[in-house]
A and B are shown apart, each in its own frame.
Chain A
């Protein structure tokens, strides 16, 4: 078995989110959307928020979706999905997989209230957040998921706040399933989607989806960037099932954050003449805290 075929073993490939979309090369979100929906299968309704995914996949008259796709606004995909679910219940239709989804901005900022409402009401909906750590569709502005130190067009000297911790907030709603994933591990991501969809009630999967354009890395490095995000401890991989933290991915060999940061243009200003700025130590501190908190 070649390395590639081992890598792809057991990975569902149905092209339900088909080629022909207009994402940038190496877009983590496009890859994530494909993996999510191929894992979910044909019997799925995608409720998508405004953002890069929607824009690169749903221009009239040629959308890239082979499953039903519903988009209305930027901040309401969770509420729209709640309505779809209510309709299916009321009409006695289904079962069907309903996947509400959006970028970090629509999930953690403007749509935060609507997602909290969906969780709290207990709708049988999976919410997937494609986290590329900024508002990419409007040209890389800061969101509450933008990491400390990162440069965006609205944080030109580097972001001064830490990332909002939505997986924990989701879990604190008492929902039965929360997981994090990245696009470098196809199998893990798809297993989490399948597991989530097998559970009744609201579910949340948070996917780190690197954006070559906004992060300033080469498109072919998207998978490697994900790996480093995990191996530095900056993006912990875990599941929270019925409130209990499980399946925490152990880091095989811990990597200093510098290696992750140096691959990306958005952190370039932290390494003037190759010397790490004091922010780098702060970012290492964040990674260390994660390592300790999740026992990575």
Chain B
């Protein structure tokens, strides 16, 4: 049913239709509305789940870890400092192959303190062994949660749905929210593999000496690579059942004819599409490649989409300090070594700590890279605030 609804509430409602058995979370802006709404759904008896109000994100992640190891479908949500605090558990959850679903309401990381959006938080745990799916808008954010449980439980890989804080979590948009019975038909009950249960005593979380550790990492890495099949299947299935495209690996917009391709992920693709349409009217052919599944990284799909393109620019809301663009490195890595030289791949960081990315900023970027490729740069920087010696 189409509803005019806040993004957080849409996500909460959809998560409740996925029937998690255990929910545990700790409040942090801009994730709060999601868990408040879930608490009220549980509170009024519309969802039969244990809602565990913990004393920190570290414990929230540990509670869902324990719950999942005991066979429950478990869900949590956080962002920024909360995800940082969880990070030790985040790695552990993946290593233990527990199919937990987490919403990351993407936000900047301290210091300085900023409650506003960028994607540094989920990027900081990109190597932990979780599937990471990025939503473009609130429709996709809701849809991805339904897919996330299914993907996680088929692959035994924890899955993070990333949605831009405030820009999506606090935006009112029309969202088509499926009914309980539709979600039930799409998402089968969770069938755990290994659980702690006195009927089948077994150890979960044993330690591995150098004879065994590396193989567990190899298997986890391969599981992530192999999960590509499942992600593809589930999103195709979703499209069939619900009649709209959501998720998958990549999406493109006016890419075929484009002379220049902008690569990005998350909600900023909305503004990028707007610019593309404007530029088209002005006679410029610019296209978009949008990454939905950031981990596993869809290298093959990216390559196929970009193989005939020479001019590419990557725009991202995160930075590897002392190095540069993170997504840009992934994109550059997507081409075979021999093909790299013929391409101009520019890299821009923008929108950190909630800095607005305007259509003019994007236009400036396009004009700049049309002249010459930019190895790495900041977009929308207020140079007047920076002392000469810090430049």
**A254 at interface (Cβ–Cβ under 8 A)?**
no
**B205 at interface (Cβ–Cβ under 8 A)?**
yes
> Which residues of chain A have C-beta atoms less than 8 A from B53's C-beta?
121
> Which residues of chain B have C-beta atoms less than 8 A from A69's C-beta?
196, 201-206
State the CA gap A90–B49 with chains docked (Å).
6
**B282 at interface (Cβ–Cβ under 8 A)?**
no
Contact yes or no, A87 B66, CB < 8 A: yes
Q: Which of A68, A82, A86, A93 contacts B202 (CB 8 A)?
A: A68
Q: Interface digits, A56-73 against B, CB 8 Å rule (1 contact, 0 not)?
A: 001111010111111111
**B17 at interface (Cβ–Cβ under 8 A)?**
no
**A84 at interface (Cβ–Cβ under 8 A)?**
yes
Q: Interface digits, A17-41 against B, CB 8 Å rule (1 contact, 0 not)?
A: 0000000000000000000000000
State the CA gap A63–B196 with chains docked (Å).
14
Chain A nearest CB: distance from B385 CB in Å? 38
- Size class of A's contact patch? 35 or more
Stretch at the interface among A109-117, A128-136, A197-205: A109-117
Interface residues of B in 190-244 (CB under 8 A from A): 196-198, 200-209, 212
> Which residues of chain A have C-beta atoms less than 8 A from B88's C-beta?
73
State the CA gap A73–B62 with chains docked (Å).
9
State the CA gap A81–B21 with chains docked (Å).
16
> Which residues of chain B have C-beta atoms less than 8 A from A68's C-beta?
196-198, 200-204
Stretch at the interface among A42-50, A146-154, A225-233, A239-247: A42-50
Say whether, besides A59-B207, A76-B58, A79-B62, A86 and B198 are in contact (CB < 8 Å): no
> Which residues of chain A have C-beta atoms less than 8 A from B5's C-beta?
none
Contact yes or no, B59 A76, CB < 8 A: yes
Say whether, besides A68-B196, A72-B89, A60 and B202 are in contact (CB < 8 Å): no
**B54 at interface (Cβ–Cβ under 8 A)?**
yes
> Which residues of chain A have C-beta atoms less than 8 A from B196's C-beta?
45, 68-70, 84
Which single residue of chain B is at the shortest CB-CB distance from A74?
A: B88
> Which residues of chain B have C-beta atoms less than 8 A from A63's C-beta?
203, 206
**B162 at interface (Cβ–Cβ under 8 A)?**
no
State the CA gap A37–B205 with chains docked (Å).
19
Chain A CB within 10 A, most for which of B48, B62, B70, B72: B70
Chain A nearest CB: distance from B159 CB in Å? 18
**B148 at interface (Cβ–Cβ under 8 A)?**
no
Chain B nearest CB: distance from A206 CB in Å? 21
Q: Which of B21, B48, B67, B89 contacts A76 (CB 8 A)?
A: B89
State the CA gap A42–B62 with chains docked (Å).
24
Say whether, besides A58-B203, A114-B62, A72 and B67 are in contact (CB < 8 Å): no
Q: Which of A55, A60, A61, A114 contacts B55 (CB 8 A)?
A: A114
> Nearest 10 A-B pairs (CB), nearest first?
A83-B66, A79-B62, A87-B72, A87-B70, A80-B66, A71-B205, A83-B63, A76-B62, A117-B55, A90-B21
18 inter-chain pairs at a CB distance below 8 angstroms, sorted by A residue, are A42-B201, A59-B209, A68-B198, A69-B206, A70-B66, A70-B196, A71-B206, A72-B92, A83-B24, A83-B67, A83-B68, A84-B66, A84-B196, A86-B22, A86-B66, A87-B70, A93-B71, A117-B59
Chain A interface (Cβ within 8 Å of chain B)?
42-45, 47, 54-55, 58-61, 63, 65-73, 75-76, 79-91, 93, 96, 113-114, 116-117, 120-121
